[in-house]
Amino acid sequence: MVLGLFVPFASATTVQQKPLGQSESTLALKAAIAEQERLRQNGPVLDDRLKNLKDDELVDVIVHLSQAPVSLQQGKSELRGQKFSNARANEVRANVKAQQTKVKKAFAAKNVAFDTIYEFDTVLNGFAATVKAGDLPKLLTIEGVTLVEPDATVYASEASETVVSEEQSYDALMNTSNSFLGIERLWNEGLEGQGIKVAVLDTGIDADHPEFAGIYKGGKNFILHSSTYATPRADDDASETLPSERPANVPEFNANGSSFYTSHGTHVAGTIAAIGANDFGIKGIAPKVDLYAYRVLGAYGSGATSGIVKAIETSVVEDMDVINLSLGGGANSETDAGSFAINNAMMAGVISVIATGNSGPNRGTMGTPATARLGIAVGNTTNPETMHAGTVSVTVGDYNYSKKLNLMSTTFGQNLAQQLDGEFEIIAVPGVGSPKDFEGLNVEGKVALIARGELPFVDKIANAKANGAVATIIHNFAGGTGAPGPSNVFLGDSFGFLPTFDMSLTDATEIRSALTAGEGKVTFNNFTTTKTAGDDVNSSSSRGPSTPNFDIKPDVTAPGTNIMSTIPMYKADFPEVSYAEAYDRKTGTSMATPHIAGIAALVKQANPEWNAFDVKVALSNTAKILDTTKYDVFSQGAGRVDAYAAAHPEILAYAQDTAVVDATGAIVENLKGTITFGPRSLDQNLSVTKQVQVKDFTGNGGTYSVEVKTTKTFGDAKVTVDQPTLTVDGEATLNVTLTASAATTKAGDEILGYVVLKNDTTEISLPFAADFAKAAGTEIRNYRLSEKDVSFNGDGIKDSSSLAFTLTGPVTTNFIEIWDIENPTGGEYGDGYIGYLHSGASLAAGSYTLQIGGQYKPWGAAPATTIPDGLYTIDFTGLTPGEVVQAYDGPFIVKTTKPEISAELNGEEVIGQVMDKYIDYNEVLALYGLDYKLNDKLKASYTLSENGEQQAPEAFLLNEDGTFTLPVTETTTALSVTVTDAAGNSQTSLVFERELEEPEPVVTLVAEDEVIKLAPGKSTTFKIFEKTTVGETVTEKDVTNLATYSFTKKNAVAIKNGVLSARGPGETTVTAAYGGQTVTFKVIVTPPGKK
């Protein structure tokens, strides 16, 4: 939710009902209608992230308009059982276009300059554009505008390396999830996705991969060309971002470690549809679909919301059956362009499957567009997996070590015992296993012992492999998780991995000490495996609920941990590349989501008459409920998908609900497989009923037991059903009622569980949830800054941050203020607060994001201005009737100054000092126990010149007081030091320089001709040069007219002005003298006819 702008849609308040009462769905509909009217009365909304910007700043925005778009009108018609013709679609589209034209004319009339990026008429009514921040308030005065929000950046939802706990262990022996999920049973029935159109909205695809032969039908590019890319690309070029597209001035890796070139979309597409063109058993869920790729994420795996919305719209226009969005990045909000677009795509019949994200395991960590009320949000679980262990035996002289260790990684397709058969020399690698650390070491055919730290584990393994190692042992370090024990990290298997053992710091310290005394040998044996049952929820999988409705998300989960799938090889850049091993493992909800997309394709093929909501309910109803003692409904949703059961259900149970679908305020029916009771006050006794419509799909009818399984409750709260046995003949209605007595509640008071319908042949379930904490004390959760080191200087580096948080209940007066750590009694009111970033009269329960672009409002009369350099915390204060809600994050460092570097020569060393605010700030922070390691904030490197030739920069560590010592040699001619701080400010200083000693010049005289022959009376020119040689440099000076001359035979020749004249026959030697140097040449005068 966007801070201060979107007030969560109200749920129905508790009402003293008449005996006959009203159904819960009717009450919810009335509440939604009232909310719609409130939105209309309040007028258009400007997202808080677009406030407090500089007037001349250009911003990308999405402008929403009031007319209903095509997909919404289509969905509403179909829900009423009415046909939505092409003519009607064209009529709606014309009305939308007419409103957009009218609004743009109004822009021009108000002198609002704008550049349109995309126009939307199908899943949204509006357009993406670039405008000046100073013109944003004008947009709100234009009739038809309902919402203006930033065109936010979205990222691929791929998790980082997996950490293994005692409760969970992951491995990668399964090449696909197909057997575990029962996919082969559907294949055996001929269900492989034939005729189903699936679009992957991601980083693109490597269409040259053999796994997509015959099924890839084309794609589109929604990444706009900019200076980030070396060359533009065609609109239908959906290939992955290539290495060759990177300009020389663009880094290969960004600050987050993401590569410029991408691979994510190819991996996702392979999970859905790889045809099995390999010998490893790797195959997609639906290998015969018509596969399309929409490139919405570009370099570094990021893209704009507007491009994603346009791609969703294109999927509707091009009649896609299923779309996969393994991406996210917005706040936990149901009210943004991405979520609205998903809602309307579902209304239009496009099955929309979205990753929840990888910010788990805490509650409420999912983000848009997975928060869309109507979409299918997916969480990440594990397959049945196997971990390897083996005995590692090291001998160094009299020292012996032998212990069973777990393996972090193995080589895909290799037998460990055969691969590590024999005795190997063990080499202790210094540092952290960077390429530089291997210089001067011979690890060819040996085992590398490497320390954890700084570099990712996969990079350490890759560096060892590049230097010829056969295996690695990576040990923990003092600051590592689990130290001094092992790291407990598992990476799985990959073609690029070496066998890598996980060793403790304690054991490695002993071995390294022993190796200082001599050569060590290591052997490996006694390999064992440990198998798990799978069906754990990955701790990184983002959790629900979505806000503000306490909606159960994810809707369903699927395997997404260590998933083997296709990766690109960029044939366009490397024509001779081989795809034989173009497969690798990735982890994240990004990998779980294509499992659901592929299964949705098979379910749709099996049931072609179903709409998107039928598929959604089938996936949820038939899912396997996982261990409820470990994973609640907001971790696993309805459970882990069961593909065969979803394609062939006997019955389905549709929970009746409503939703506000987009910024037009339209209310639609929301049929789903989860029961949302939402936030509920217990100020008085509570009774709320939800209706569930149960449909028979066999035509035979049947009788089913109905059981409520409560996994968590509060007080006397309970969920009951009106029929413990339900007979379904076509359709039947089940009433599910939540009751609870009035009580004082606190955060975390809730009821969770499942309603289960079953008979001898089938079982389906619906999770339910209600939150009783709404009227209790409000808490603020997950309060965090995205960036804590910033420099608001407009250079494009660390120029902004964002603040995200969740309120569990409402607050009235509220502020987000800046507190000065260095002057805690300063500010207008003597409380240390220099001003505020946000102030408001109320905030409802929900998740919020505030963009911090450098502007703040000082307390007092001063106007808004740029936050000055300083050391701060960002504090939230909110009032409720009974308490003050507070939170802070920091230290928040604003710094625009560059480091200062000084140094002097002391013998064969340069002793230097860096002066910087990060050193000063650390002294202050130490008083609060918040001090940091200086080298985390200041990154230093030096560049040497040896004999005048500049060397490559080398990183080095500063002492905590900023001092440093660097060696110089007799051949060192220059030394410069560069220091870049965490806020992006950089300084380079020349701290040492000396001139090269010039060699002594060698001066000689040179005659152009050693012998000159003339006849008497004849003349000729000649040349005498002064030749000066300095090192390898030679210069010559014509000194013919400056030299003096002498002759051994005085009357033979004469010299004047560089001309030599012969007087009489004979031979003479001429000596030229100049500058202390002499040279001789011979002149022979021969009478005519005489040789």
- What is the mean pLDDT, run by run of 10 residues, along the chain of 1091 residues? 24 23 31 34 70 87 88 76 83 90 90 91 90 91 88 70 33 58 95 98 96 97 94 96 94 84 95 94 96 95 91 96 88 77 91 92 87 92 89 96 95 92 96 92 96 87 95 91 89 90 96 94 95 88 83 94 93 94 91 97 97 95 96 96 96 84 64 89 90 93 95 96 95 96 90 96 96 72 94 91 91 86 86 86 84 88 88 88 78 95 92 94 85 93 90 93 92 93 95 79 92 90 92 89 89 88 88 93 81 53
Pairing of strands 290-295, 216-221: parallel
Chain position carrying tokens 């010559």: 1036
* Same domain, residue pair 440 and 574: no
Task: Write phi, then psi, for 968 (nearest 5 degrees).
Answer: -130, 155
Cβ-based neighbours of 971, under 8 Å, separated by 6 or more? 946, 947
- Residue 160 inside a domain? The answer is no
Answer for the pair 558, 381: CB distance below 8 angstroms, yes or no: yes
E strands present in 382-499? 386-396, 399-411, 423-428, 447-451, 471-475, 489-490, 492-494
Given 531, 557, 579, which residue is the final one in a domain? 531
- Of 64, 209, 264, 267, the catalytic one is 264
Angle 612-621/337-347 helices, nearest 10 degrees?
Answer: 100
- Please name the residue ranges forming H helices in 365-423: 416-419
| β-pair partners for 17 | none
Rounded distance between C-alpha atoms, residue 612 and residue 373, angstroms: 13
Q: Note the pLDDT of residue 172.
A: 27
Residues 719 and 748 in one domain: yes
Instruction: Say if residue 966 is in the same domain as residue 825.
Output: no
- The pair of structure tokens assigned to 176 is 């696909």
DSSP string computed for 167-201: S-------S-SHHHHTHHHHHHTT-S-TT-EEEEE
Q: How far apart are CA 818 and CA 722, in angstroms?
A: 55
Exposed/middle/buried for 223, CB within 10 Å: 0-12, 13-18, 19+? buried
Helix or strand or coil: residue 498?
coil
Q: What is the pLDDT of residue 130?
A: 93
For the chain, the first-to-last Cα distance in angstroms comes to 109
The answer to whether residue 206 is catalytic is no
Would you tell me how many other CB atoms lie within 10 Å of the CB of residue 386? 17
Provide the angle, in degrees to the nearest 10, between the axes of the packed helices 589-606 and 612-621.
Answer: 110
Shared-domain flag, residues 272 and 372: yes
Are 397 and 637 within 8 A, CB to CB?
A: no
Contact yes or no for 447/427 (Cβ under 8 A): yes
AA identity, residue 504:
S
Residue 130 CA: distances (Å) to CA of 47, 133, 325: 15, 9, 25
**How high is the pLDDT of residue 1016?**
87
Query: 475 an active-site residue?
Result: no
Structure tokens at 369: 């567009």
Q: Tell me the CATH number at 94.
A: 3.30.70.80
Residue-by-residue DSSP string for 830-884: SSSEEEEEEEES-B-SEEEEEEE-SEEEESSSPPPEEPPSEEEEEEEEEE-SS-E
Query: Cis ω on the peptide bond leading into residue 361 (within 30° of 0)?
Result: yes
Helix, strand or coil, per DSSP, at residue 308: helix
Whether residue 24 lies inside any domain: the answer is no
- Which residue is associated with the tokens 């970033």? 837
Distance (Å, rounded) from C-alpha 369 to C-alpha 662?
13
Tokens of 711: 């996994």
Same domain flag for 319 and 411: no
Residue 377 within any structural domain of the chain? yes
* 3-state secondary structure (DSSP) of residue 18: coil
- Contacts of residue 4, Cβ cutoff 8 Å, sequence gap at least 6: 48, 838, 840, 843, 848
CATH code (residue 557): 3.40.50.200
> Three-class SS of residue 60?
strand
CB-based burial, 860-891: b 16+ in 10 Å, e otherwise: eeeeeeebebbbbbbbbbbebeeeebebbbbb
Strands 900-906 and 884-894: unpaired
Distance, in Å, from the CA atom of 185 to the CA atom of 192, rounded to the nearest integer, reads: 10
Cis peptide before 1001 (omega within 30 of 0): no
CATH number at residue 844: 2.60.40.4070
666 and 602 in a single domain? The answer is yes
177: which 2 tokens? Answer: 């999830």
pLDDT for residue 663: 60
Neighbours of 578 (CB within 10 A): 9
Alpha helices (H) in 5-85, listed in sequence order: 24-42, 70-79
pLDDT confidence of residue 883:
63
SS3 254: coil
| 151, 183, 203 - which closes a domain | 151
User: Among 482, 492, 483, 505, which Cα is nearest to 461's?
Assistant: 492
Which residue do the tokens 């394609």 mark? 647
Quick check: is 51 in a domain?
Answer: yes
- Report if residue 908 sits inside a domain: yes
> Which of 740, 771, 802 marks a domain boundary?
771
Report the candidate in 57, 56, 67, 132 with the shortest Cα–Cα distance to residue 103: 67
Mark whether 916 and 785 lie in a shared domain: no
3-state secondary structure of 755: strand
- What pLDDT is recorded for position 667? 65
Q: List the one residue out of 288, 310, 299, 290 whose CA is nearest residue 239.
A: 299
- DSSP lists the bridge partners of residue 525 as 391
Single-letter code of the amino acid located at 510: E
Q: What phi and psi, each to the nearest 5 degrees, are found at residue 356? A: -75, -25
Which residues make Cβ contacts (< 8 Å) with residue 18, sequence separation at least 6?
none
pLDDT for the residue 234: 95
93 lies in some domain: yes
Please tell me whether residues 731 and 874 are part of one structural domain: no
Q: What are phi and psi of 41, to 5 degrees?
A: -70, -35
Record the tokens describing residue 403, joined without a space. Answer: 């212990």
Polymer length in residues for the chain: 1091
According to the model, what pLDDT value does residue 270 have?
Answer: 97
Query: What is the C-alpha R_g of the chain?
Result: 38
Distance CA 124, CA 148 (A): 13
Check which CATH number belongs to the domain holding 987 and give it: 2.60.40
Residues 506 and 579 in one domain: no
Q: Are residues 264 and 334 in the same domain?
A: yes
Residue type, 166: E
Helix (H) or strand (E) holding 136: helix 136-139
Same domain, yes or no: 508 and 628 = no
Q: Say which of 590, 620, 681, 801 is annotated catalytic.
A: 590
What is the number of other CB atoms lying within 10 angstroms of the CB of residue 516?
8
Within a domain: 663: yes
Residues 923, 844: one domain? no
Q: How far apart are CA 497 and CA 364, in angstroms?
A: 35
What domain range is 1016 assigned to?
Answer: 1002-1085
pLDDT value of position 163: 36
Q: CB-side exposure of 1033: number of CA atoms within 13 Å?
A: 6
Which residues are CB-neighbours of 81 under 8 A, at least 6 positions away?
none
Q: How far apart are CA 341 and CA 311, in angstroms?
A: 10
Q: Which domain CATH number covers 1053?
A: 2.60.40.1080
Q: Please indicate, yes or no, if residue 412 is contained in any of the structural domains.
A: yes
Catalytic residue among 202, 614, 632, 662: 202
The maximal CA–CA distance of the chain, rounded, in angstroms, is: 149
Q: Is 716 known to be catalytic?
A: no
Sign of the Cα torsion 282, 286, 287, 293 reads: negative
Tokens 């704008």 -> residue: 114
Alpha carbon distances (Å) from 929 to 782, 825, 922, 937, 981: 21, 20, 10, 17, 21
Question: Residue 962: which region, alpha, beta or left (left: phi > 0; alpha: psi -120 to 50)?
Answer: left
Tally of domains in the chain: 6
pLDDT in the model for residue 52: 80
